[in-house]
Amino acid sequence: MEHIDSVVFGDNQFFGINHMSQEKAQQLSEQFYDINNIYKVYELAFDAGIRAVMLNSNDRAQIICEHFRNNISRYPSLNWYPSIPYPYKYANLVAEKGIFPAINEVLFKDNSARKVMVMITKGSAAVLTKDAVKMMQLLIDVEMKMFVGLNIKVVFLQNIITDLILGFGLGDIFDEYCQYIRKKYNAIPGLITQNMPFLKKRLEEWGIKDVVICSSYNKIGYLMSPDVDSYVKASNENNPDDYQLMAMSTLASGAITAKEAYNFINQQNIQSVVFGASSKRNIDETVSLIKISN
């Protein structure tokens, strides 16, 4: 498997996401209301040597992708790590309309008439044959549309979807997802999870390899089911040729200092860290503290 970047710049800070405090989340959302402030932070990250960006497929990400596509010459060469889908879009739609009407709306919204015709044909066929795989492929294409033209390295499935499928034990669906990402997007398939040890064990049982697994990874065990020890054990036993492991929530939403956090992370058998920050000081500090080789 091609190596992934050891440091990836995340996006939670831009979209008013903070797992620890809603107040902090609101502050961030105000700070980045002006999208130019987001580009300025990206520049700080690039100045610190970061060349990889993780971005969730929400509405603002579309504008960000457009900006980077239109200004290629202004930036260094970057690797993109999209994560799909934007879960809240689906959560609200499904609550409002039900599962299948929600899928229909997502598939057919924002598409030209001609495209919709093609998709209806493909989509109805998917529904008629009860083909969840075809439906999934259509949904992936809808979510990935905004990233086309960028240099895509890994395509991640968001944890709410990964863990739902994991609970169902649907190995075939994971396998289809991975194959589709490799074939259609020429990228490495990635899975975000809050159950890394369990997911890794099941993927091994199903014979699904060459996948990037991204999970929370911090010394206090925040958002790490079932516990820290199981994570440490699973990563120690892992062969990075099979699964490259990426750590997120390394600071446990700010509960641990950066120094403490990376003292712990640097001792783990993990290949990459994704982190988000919005000040030069925090970005530079984090980059200097991460000492993992890949």
Partner 1 sequence: MIKISIIGAGRMGITHYSIINSHPDVTVSAIADPSGLMLSMMKKYLNITTYKDYNDLFNKNCPDAVLVCTPPNLHHDILKKAAEKKIHVFVEKPYTTDFHKSKELARLFEDRGLVNQVGYVNRFNDVFSNVRLLVNDNVIGPVIRFKSEMFSGTVLKPDDGEGWRGSRKSGGGAVYEMASHAIDLINYLVGKPEKVIGSSLNFIYSKKVEDAVSSTFLYKNGSSGTIYINWSDESYRKPTNKIELFGTKGKILADQHSYKIFCNKENSKLGFRQGWNTRFITDLFQNVPFYVRGNEFTRQLYHFVDCIQNPGTKNVCSFRDGADAQEVIHKIFNDYATNGKAL
Smaller CB separation from partner 1, 17 or 150 = 17
Query: Binding to partner 1 by residue 115, rule CB under 8 A?
Result: no
Query: Binding to partner 1 by residue 220, rule CB under 8 A?
Result: yes
Report how far residue 271's alpha carbon sits from residue 245's, in angstroms, rounded to the nearest whole number.
Answer: 5
- Tokens representing 205 are 């049982």
Query: Binding to partner 1 by residue 170, rule CB under 8 A?
Result: yes
Query: Binding to partner 1 by residue 120, rule CB under 8 A?
Result: no
Q: How far is the CB of 234 from partner 1 (least distance, A)?
A: 15
Task: Tell me which of 3, 21, 117, 124 binds partner 1, using CB under 8 A.
Answer: 21
Task: Tell me which of 35, 63, 72, 99 binds partner 1, using CB under 8 A.
Answer: 99
Smaller CB separation from partner 1, 114 or 130 = 130
Q: Phi and psi for 47 in degrees, rounded to 5?
A: -60, -30
Q: Which of residues 174-193 bind partner 1 (CB under 8 A)?
A: none
Query: Binding to partner 1 by residue 92, rule CB under 8 A?
Result: yes
Task: Please name which of 114, 110, 62, 108 lies closest in space to residue 85, comparing C-alpha atoms.
Answer: 62
Report how far residue 234's alpha carbon sits from residue 213's, in angstroms, rounded to the nearest whole number.
Answer: 12
Query: Binding to partner 1 by residue 229, rule CB under 8 A?
Result: no
3-state secondary structure of 273: strand
Listed in sequence order, the residues at least 6 apart from 251 whose beta carbon sits closer than 8 Å to its beta carbon are 218, 257, 258, 261, 275
| Terminal-to-terminal C-alpha distance of the chain | 12
Query: Binding to partner 1 by residue 138, rule CB under 8 A?
Result: no
DSSP assignment letter at 148? T
Smaller CB separation from partner 1, 255 or 292 = 255
CB 197 within 8 A of CB 168: no
Query: Binding to partner 1 by residue 292, rule CB under 8 A?
Result: no
CB 196 within 8 A of CB 214: no
Report how far residue 266's alpha carbon sits from residue 273's, in angstroms, rounded to the nearest whole number.
Answer: 10
Query: Binding to partner 1 by residue 59, rule CB under 8 A?
Result: no
Q: How far is the CB of 43 from partner 1 (least distance, A)?
A: 26
CB 253 within 8 A of CB 285: no
Task: Tell me which of 34, 43, 47, 172 binds partner 1, using CB under 8 A.
Answer: 172
Smaller CB separation from partner 1, 52 or 136 = 136
CB 201 within 8 A of CB 169: no
Query: Binding to partner 1 by residue 95, rule CB under 8 A?
Result: yes
Q: How far is the CB of 2 from partner 1 (least distance, A)?
A: 29
CB 163 within 8 A of CB 87: no
Q: How far is the CB of 293 from partner 1 (least distance, A)?
A: 29
Listed in sequence order, the residues at least 6 apart from 9 whose beta carbon sits closer than 8 Å to its beta carbon are 42, 45, 50, 52, 53, 54, 274, 275, 276
Q: Phi and psi for 157 in degrees, rounded to 5?
A: -95, 130
Task: Tell me which of 36, 168, 236, 293 binds partner 1, using CB under 8 A.
Answer: 168
Q: How far is the CB of 225 from partner 1 (least distance, A)?
A: 4
Site string for partner 1, 251-290 (x = CB under 8 A): -xxxx-----------------------------------
Chain contacts with partner 1 (rule: CB under 8 A): 15-17, 19-22, 25, 29, 88, 91-92, 94-100, 127, 130, 132, 160, 163-170, 172-173, 194-195, 198, 220-227, 252-255
